[in-house]
Amino acid sequence: MYLEQDCRFLAAGADPEPARLVIVGAPMDFTVSFRTGTREGPRHIRLVSAGLEEYSPELDRQLDEVAFADWGDVVMQPGRVAGSLGRIAEVLRPLYRAGKIPLLLGGEHLVSLPAIEEAARVYPDLAVLHFDAHADLRHEYLGETLSHATVMRRVCEIIGAGNLYQFGIRSGTREEFAFAREHCHLYRRCEAPQLQELVQRLAGRPVYISLDIDVLDPAFAPGTGTPEPGGIEPRTLFEALYQLAGLQVVGLDIVEVCPVYDPSGATSILAAKLVREAVLLWAPPR
């Protein structure tokens, strides 16, 4: 198995066997189009998690009450996009088949592709909820079909565009927005009525959540590769996650954290708190 472990997320064990939710890092940033450095995201999210409490007052739960583990990082093949994506798929495949929930830490957004593809093999009726500043629906970018700018177009080819729900999108080409309006479910904001209706619509269906940290305004999360002004506040994003608590989440990711552009560490800490809340929402009790 292509895994290495430098440090673990707050309170996480290392053995995935007794755990239902398993954290896996994907430190890849081969196709980023503006600022590199997201390969450092998984490690920094883990390091700063030590500054958090294990208890969530919003959820009235704490990490020692739930069954989760941190399996470490997938070892990438430098410069080999397809090979590295294949390694991510190989690591996640047995987790899905065992009924576990992978929580993938990026890394660029392209790492979501093998995670979603493997989920769809086990859960054919998969729906994907995509929180992002960017549509990521280009057919190709600079001649490449595998890119963080094309990842959701590739996802549409796997699950069907009608099963993609996008939130917070405020950047993309005219063609991307036209494709999203015609084929996907595009929500420019993360508003409670929309989310409540969506939870009812997707009740009982397997769901994958893909969360790009740049859905947040760069005033709150400057440590990302492609910051886009006009985003949502952290409280809005946390409230969105809490409203999705009743969904059958089978996998999720938090991607595009780029620590080098945020010396304060605020972006990584914010991502770590999102990880903590996600673990407490979807990892079952011990």
pTM comes to 0.97
d(CA 247, CA 226): 30
Residue carrying the six token digits 């729900």 = 165
Please name every residue paired with 210 in a beta bridge, in sequence order, or none if there are none: 130, 253
Q: What integer pLDDT is reported at residue 33 of this predicted model?
A: 87
- 108 vs 33, 35, 84, 253, CA distance in Å? 10, 11, 12, 11
pLDDT digit string, tens, across residues 76-118? 998 899 999 999 999 999 999 999 999 999 999 999 999 999 9
Instruction: Domain ranges for the chain, please list them.
Output: 3-282
Structural fold of domain 3-282: Arginase; Chain A (3.40.800)
Single out the residue of 90, 85, 100, 94 nearest to residue 26, CA to CA: 85
CB 252 within 8 A of CB 106: no
Q: What integer pLDDT is reported at residue 202 of this predicted model?
A: 97
d(CA 286, CA 264): 35
pLDDT digit string, tens, across residues 1-39? 688 888 999 999 988 889 999 999 999 999 898 899 999
